[in-house]
Structure 1
Amino acid sequence: MQEYWIRWESWMKQYAPGLLTILQPGASFEAVASLEKLINATLPASFKAFYAVHNGQVKARTGLVDADQLLSVADIITQWHHWKDLLDSETFTYNEEPIFSAPDTGIKNDWWNPLWIPITSDGFGNHLCIDLDPTPEGQPGQIITLWHDDAHRAIVAPSFEDWVKDYLNALEKGDYIFVKKWGIVHKDTFLNYND
């Protein structure tokens, strides 16, 4: 997984060298183990190898993933607790019935599932998640969308490594650009302006 960071950092050096300063040092074995203990599940080996190089990014206005922050392990834990508190307080129920999502095939129809592990954040309650509890049609470790106010749940990639690889391929192809106010954004997004 280190090769992916080499490619990503090489892109940053060329197009957005300031982003290199928001990369965190690698996550410790203990930090990742504490996350796995919290969720009572094993994270994909590719995630652990990727985070051993850089533990996501520091909290900043600019994001590394289409304007979203790549969460550190500590921030993943914080977001997970936020969603778990909402689940435990029955926020995702109405008249004592569960509120269901509208997922792609392969994703459970929960509004949120404790085995959906947030890895990015837009700061408004929306994430990409590692799905460790798919339906039989899905793949453990697939990357899915989680919206706080929209029922749709989509599969973005079949695995964490595929997600990283696809994102970096698109980055190097020129599908994403750096915008000072937001960070790395898709070239066709409404965020693609400089003011």
Structure 2
Amino acid sequence: MQEYWTRWENWMKQYAPKLLTILNSGVSHEVLESLEKLIGKAMPDDFKAFYVVHNGQQRVRTGLVDADQLLPVEDIIEKWHYWQDLLDAGTFQYNGEPIASEPDTGIRNNWWNPLWIPITSDGFGNYHCIDLDPAPEGTYGQIITLWHDDGHREIIAPSFREWIAQYLDAVERGDYIFVKKWGIVSKDTTLNYND
């Protein structure tokens, strides 16, 4: 997975050198093991290999993934606990029945599932997650969307590796640009460039 970081860092050097300063150093195997122990499942090998190089990004407004933050493992654990606390409190039930989402084929129709592991955050309660409990038509480790106020759940990529590869292909192709306030964003963004 080093090759993907090399590509991403090379792009940053050319178009957004300040982003290099918000990359965290690699995560330890012990921290990865603490995440796996918490969720009771192994994270995909590609995810672990990627995070050994850089443990996501620092907590700043500027995002690396279409204006979203690439969460470090410590924040992944924090976000997981947040959603788990909501689940335990019965937040995702109405009149004793689970609130269903509107998922793509291959995703379970939960509002949130403890095996949906958040890896990006927009800071407003919306995430990309690694799905470790797909529906029968899905793929273990697929990347899905999780919106706090919208029931649609979408498959973004069939694996962590393919998600990163697709995103970096788009970044290198020029589909994304750097905007100082927001970070790497779609060139067709509606975000105000001047803020």
Name the TM tier (shorter chain).
over 0.9
- Once the two structures are TM-superposed, the CA of residue 194 in structure 1 deviates from its matched residue by 2.6
TM-score normalised over the length of structure 1: 0.99
* Distance (Å, rounded) in 1 between the aligned partners of 2:22 and 2:71: 11
For 1:48, the equivalent position in structure 2 comes to: 48
Runs (5+) with no aligned partner, structure 1: none
- Once the two structures are TM-superposed, the CA of residue 192 in structure 1 deviates from its matched residue by 5.5
* Distance (Å, rounded) in 2 between the aligned partners of 1:9 and 1:162: 18
For 1:71, the equivalent position in structure 2 comes to: 71
- Once the two structures are TM-superposed, the CA of residue 193 in structure 1 deviates from its matched residue by 1.8
* Distance (Å, rounded) in 1 between the aligned partners of 2:37 and 2:87: 19
Runs (5+) with no aligned partner, structure 2: none
Aligned residues: 195
SS of 2:4's partner is helix
For 2:141, the equivalent position in structure 1 comes to: 141
TM-score normalised over the length of structure 2: 0.99
SS of 2:190's partner is coil
* Distance (Å, rounded) in 2 between the aligned partners of 1:192 and 1:134: 37
Q: Please list, as runs of the form range in 1=range in 2, the aligned pairs for 1:1-195 lying within 5 A after superposition.
A: 1-191=1-191, 193-195=193-195
SS of 1:145's partner is strand
What is the aligned-residue RMSD (CA, Å)? 0.6
What code does the residue aligned with 2:96 have?
E
For each residue in 1:121-146, what CA deviation from the matched residue of structure 2 results, as whole angstroms up to 9, or x when unmatched? 00111000000000110000000000
* Distance (Å, rounded) in 1 between the aligned partners of 2:36 and 2:192: 37
| Stretches of 4+ aligned residues off by more than 4 angstroms | none
Q: 1:186 touches 1:192 (CA, 8 Å); kept in 2?
A: no
Percent sequence identity is: 73
